[in-house]
Structure 1
């Protein structure tokens, strides 16, 4: 059941990204162009995600346990360390340069282009390097 609901959640996420126009990198790059032709679409998509998550967590966490699990698996760390900050910086730089973050990139595979393929290759290479890096362990 866990894999099935993971698939359903990913499918809903991908459909939402597509409907929100977030599989189009020009939307993201337009959002980052605050002194040019600024496109606020991403702001509304992010706002909708924050509101949905805020309400959803409050509703779900009122339950004693998940419907298909023994307990909730919530993060226990709340500190900021170098790995988190470096990862966030690399994520943001990659997102800003390509116009894709990982979710929309995978959702856009069917409509692939050279920039998308380059971004996916760089992301997979980054995962591979990070798994072997002594700085990430």
Structure 2
């Protein structure tokens, strides 16, 4: 129960930050990408602040023997730049640039009543399901028969 409450509190802080900073607005995000038009650098400031807090937080948290609500840290073991990582990153960036939404901004936008966020989140979930289906199918074809 405490884990769920903790996750809810963290989500509330994150969503509030996204909403307060204006990053739940696709127009604000798209203006960041419009370098030669109505460029808005505020997204870079939000990202810089988030990276600064994260870098400082990781330095303190990873010195602990384990997380407070977990038996161990769950850190990525794979550090390779492989095709799935690069393709997924490219798809994410293209989608973000086209719509002005990323998952971090779209989910709080649902709570703000942004109609296009509902379409984006539904499409995102469909894309996740399709990608998982494709990945499982490809892994089954590549796996040796036993």
Q: Answer whether TM exceeds 0.5 for this pair.
A: yes
Aligned to 2:89: 88
Q: Is the 8 A contact 2:24 2:106 kept in 1?
A: yes
Query: What are the within-5 Å matches in structure 2 for residues 1-137 of structure 1?
Result: 1-110=2-111, 111-113=113-115, 115-133=116-134, 134-135=137-138
Structure 1's consecutive aligned runs of 4 or more residues displaced over 4 angstroms after TM superposition are none
Listed one character per residue, the Cα deviations across residues 90-135 of structure 1 (whole Å, up to 9, x for unaligned) are: 111111111010121111113122x333322221110110121034
TM-score, L = length of structure 1: 0.91
How many residue pairs match? The answer is 136
Structure 1 residues 95 and 59, CA gap change in structure 2 (3 angstroms): same
TM-score when scaled to structure 2? 0.86
Q: Distance in 2 between matches of 1:34 and 1:135?
A: 39
Deviations 1:31-54 (A, max 9, x none): 000111110010010000000000
5+ residue gaps, structure 2, are 141-146
- Is the radius of gyration larger for structure 1 or structure 2? 2
Gaps of 5+ in 1: none
SS at match of 2:126: helix
RMSD: 1.5
